Structure 1
Amino acid sequence: MFKLMGKNSDVILSRLKSWRLTDGNGTEGDNLTLTINADDIDGIPPKGEKYTVYLGQVKRDVFEISQRSIELLPREIKLVLTVSPFSINDVTGYRERKSFSWDNTTLSQVVSDCVTPHGFAFFVHPGLQKTVIQHVDRTEESTPAFLNRLAKQYDAVAKPVEDKYIFVPIGQQTSATGADIESITLSLPQGNTTENTHFIRLSADLDGRSEFNGVRAFYVSTEDGTRQEIKTGSKPFKLLGKDKNSKVEAEQACATELRKIQRTGRKISINAPVNTAAFAEGLVILDASFPLAFQGKCSIDSVTISGAGLQPTRMSISATLTGE
């Protein structure tokens, strides 16, 4: 059952016609849309109003109203909520474009410097905490834009959840709070047709996985100015086009790209009955009841859950088959 906790949440829930919740790998894609029957009311909740959202007993996140619209026929109110810390006033400058540079530091320190001024605790995955950054520039970028760009460099996801900012590798079984996520498993129902309310639709790209088994990159030695090569994995190698600033940076770039190659398989689109434990930074396992081409472990890229009234109806998952 869909639940809201916040000011006038009982009124909203009693008039709720439909809703759609989207959870993505990143800060910009997380949102909740509510369509509310407004036949005999004139009041509209103000921007910035906060609501804690639950699906059953699973807490999804804390959202704030960011957009509002109203229609006359049918008379209804539509609210779009974005995950906190969206703020109309943005008193800490979370979305302000700023410039800064770091030298000889760690990834954990960069994340800390970016988010602690805005009131966040933060969680950087242990495998990334001590990653050495010899130099990085933030150039006229907002905090979420810069951290999203940095996350892509390390095949990770960076996003706020409540008062914590997380930075974790994509596909890790680590939730946005730093706790382990329980993988969800899907099975085909008997008689998988659209007449069956539990039907599952699947589609998959046939040529998603890279043919590379290794990665190589170059850097210029500060000792003698020569161009040096770094290799990770085995043949055939993928060449990273831009020379790196140092041996350490080249090694890290190769390791990250190889992990991405090994993680990234075919793209899978899933439409299925709702599982309230499906989160964008989690995993979904398609068991042996599926045809062989679909079976395996998938890294969830985004989840959209929709409902009518208070009841969840269907979920859509975009995922990447990891090949495991």
Structure 2
Amino acid sequence: MTDTTMQLLSQGTDPVKMPDFDILAEGKTLSGVAERLMSLSLTDNRGFEADQLTITLDDADGQLQLPPRGARLTVLIGWKGEPLTEKGTYIVDEIAHEGPPDRLTVSARSADFRDEFNVKREVSWHDVTVERVVSAIAHRYGLKPQISEMLMDIEIDHADQTEESDMSFLTRMAEMLGAITTVKSGNLLFIMPGGGVNAQGQPLPSFAITRSSGDRHQFRIADREAYTGVRAYWLDLNYGKKKKVSVKRRKPPKPKKEKSSSRE
């Protein structure tokens, strides 16, 4: 054991965590993937844009079989020695093979998003609450509604959904109320962003990220002088109108020239 290792142990420094993962195909763990994995990328998108999964595997020996399109992959990620966190189920929609060196790239999209989400409908909503609208649309697709408490009882006097998909209508309604809406893990979310609470209003757990939490970091400072002001929009629920507030950056006062006390 080296002197450096002994020093770290004596200081009680935690060893660097090693990432871990598991991939299930149709509910069964894929064997031999860890030895072939070159990269695994998960993209968690906001709104009604499907989350994306991309897996690249080494196929130098040519023994990999191409997975069928439409196969369901479930991904779990985390740290070695700790319980893994499930990150959803994805449907394979694209397969690519290239080389040399030979490699197989599998792309998949979130199973939460379906083609019927894009079906345009004719619906007239009258004297309803946000909770009733979101719940009705969630029930149509077999989803569980998750709505922020502060949004549930907001009344909608009248709203027309004319040749518009349910997801487009929900997005439009969310923008009017300053909320966000999306589908995650079988739940239709209609929540307020940035509040630090979940859909039930309970505070989210905090987690401190330190330099030792990862193997690299990036820090950037923007030139704030390039901005002359900021403009924000808000919805006046009393009148149903969108209003704006603008604040301009104050210019620093020019230094006054000192007057000379001597006379020429």
CA deviation digits over 1:267-307, x for unaligned, max 9?
xxxxxxxxxxxxxxxxxxxxxxxxxxxxxxxxxxxxxxxxx
8 Å Cα contact 2:149-2:199 kept in structure 1: no
1:61 paired with 2:81, answer no
Instruction: Tell me the equivalent position of 1:210.
Output: 230
Q: Which structure ranks higher in relative contact order (CA pairs < 8 Å, sequence separation ≥ 6)?
A: 1
8 Å Cα contact 1:101-1:138 kept in structure 2: yes
| Closer, same or farther: CA 38–184 of 1 in aligned 2, 3 Å | same
Instruction: Tell me the equivalent position of 2:160.
Output: 137
| Structure 1 range deviating more: 127-136 or 4-13 | 4-13
8 Å Cα contact 1:156-1:168 kept in structure 2: yes
Equivalence map 1:185-264=2 (5 Å):
185-187=208-210, 197-204=215-222, 206=224, 207=227, 210=230, 247=238, 249-250=240-241
Instruction: Tell me the equivalent position of 1:28.
Output: 49
Q: Which amino acid aligns with 2:135?
A: S
1:5 paired with 2:28, answer no
8 Å Cα contact 2:148-2:198 kept in structure 1: no
Question: What secondary structure sits across from 1:150 in the alignment?
Answer: helix
Equivalence map 1:53-202=2 (5 Å):
53-56=75-78, 57-87=84-114, 90=115, 93-175=116-198, 180-187=203-210, 197-202=215-220
Question: What secondary structure sits across from 1:28 in the alignment?
Answer: coil
| Alpha-carbon distance in structure 2 between the residues aligned to 1:158 and 1:105 | 18
| Alpha-carbon distance in structure 1 between the residues aligned to 2:190 and 2:204 | 15
| Alpha-carbon distance in structure 2 between the residues aligned to 1:216 and 1:146 | 17
| Alpha-carbon distance in structure 2 between the residues aligned to 1:43 and 1:49 | 13
Q: Which amino acid aligns with 2:104?
A: I
Question: What secondary structure sits across from 1:24 in the alignment?
Answer: coil
| Closer, same or farther: CA 175–3 of 1 in aligned 2, 3 Å | farther
1:52 paired with 2:79, answer no
Q: Which amino acid aligns with 2:132?
A: Q
Q: Percent identity?
A: 23
| Closer, same or farther: CA 144–50 of 1 in aligned 2, 3 Å | farther
8 Å Cα contact 2:148-2:199 kept in structure 1: no
| Closer, same or farther: CA 58–248 of 1 in aligned 2, 3 Å | farther
| Alpha-carbon distance in structure 1 between the residues aligned to 2:36 and 2:102 | 12
8 Å Cα contact 2:68-2:92 kept in structure 1: yes
Q: Report the alpha carbon displacement of residue 167 of structure 1 after superposing the two structures with TM.
A: 0.8
| Alpha-carbon distance in structure 2 between the residues aligned to 1:64 and 1:29 | 11
Q: Which amino acid aligns with 1:3?
A: D
| Alpha-carbon distance in structure 2 between the residues aligned to 1:146 and 1:78 | 35
Instruction: Work out the number of aligned pairs and report it.
Output: 216
| Closer, same or farther: CA 83–179 of 1 in aligned 2, 3 Å | farther
C-alpha RMSD of the superposition: 3.3
Q: Which amino acid aligns with 2:23?
A: L
| Closer, same or farther: CA 187–74 of 1 in aligned 2, 3 Å | same
| Alpha-carbon distance in structure 2 between the residues aligned to 1:248 and 1:81 | 45
Structure (1 or 2) with the greater strand fraction: 1
Instruction: Tell me the equivalent position of 1:193.
Output: none
CA deviation digits over 1:60-87, x for unaligned, max 9?
2222223222224332222222222234
Question: What secondary structure sits across from 1:202 in the alignment?
Answer: coil
| Closer, same or farther: CA 43–95 of 1 in aligned 2, 3 Å | farther
8 Å Cα contact 2:123-2:162 kept in structure 1: yes
8 Å Cα contact 1:84-1:160 kept in structure 2: no
| Structure 1 range deviating more: 57-66 or 120-129 | 57-66
Q: Which of the pair has more CA radius of gyration?
A: 2
TM-score normalised to the size of structure 2?
Answer: 0.67
Q: Report the alpha carbon displacement of residue 129 of structure 1 after superposing the two structures with TM.
A: 0.7
